[in-house]
Amino acid sequence: MSALSSEDIAGQESEFANAFNLGQDYLSHRGLLGRFYWLLNDKRFRDACRICRRFVDDSIQKVIKDSNLHTKEARERGNYIFINAIIQETRDPKVLRDQCLNILLAGRDTTACCLSWTL
């Protein structure tokens, strides 16, 4: 059993994906504004950030709650689960959220770049 099942996130993935896309669009525009990034901080952006944080935070809380069971099962099967490895180092929810979002961002950018080169 993985740390999170598809049933745990069913119905939330579209909301998260849309918020994640919107947040990335805003961040790219904010980056262009440099020191004036704060000018682009409307309700849509703040709502997108809130949805992303809530989705990841809820998932992390579920993993923390069941971390001992899932870590043992994963080790027995020889599986590597990123969040379980990070939980061994810290249980600080903010650090865990930041690490998960970093992996999501890196994976998305890498995949997008790879697809661009193949087309």
Q: How does the average pLDDT of the chain come out, rounded?
A: 82
pTM of the model: 0.71
Q: Say which residues have a Cβ less than 8 Å from residue 48's Cβ, sequence separation at least 6.
A: 18, 19, 20, 22, 23, 26
CA nearest 22: which of 2, 38, 1, 42?
42
Q: What is the pLDDT of residues 18-70, one digit of tens each?
A: 999 999 999 999 999 999 999 999 999 999 999 999 999 998 998 888 776 65
Q: Say which residues have a Cβ less than 8 Å from residue 1's Cβ, sequence separation at least 6.
A: 70, 73
- Domain layout of the chain by residue ranges: 11-118
What is the band of 1 on the pLDDT scale with cuts at 50, 70, 90?
very low
* Cβ proximity of 71 and 84 under 8 Å: yes
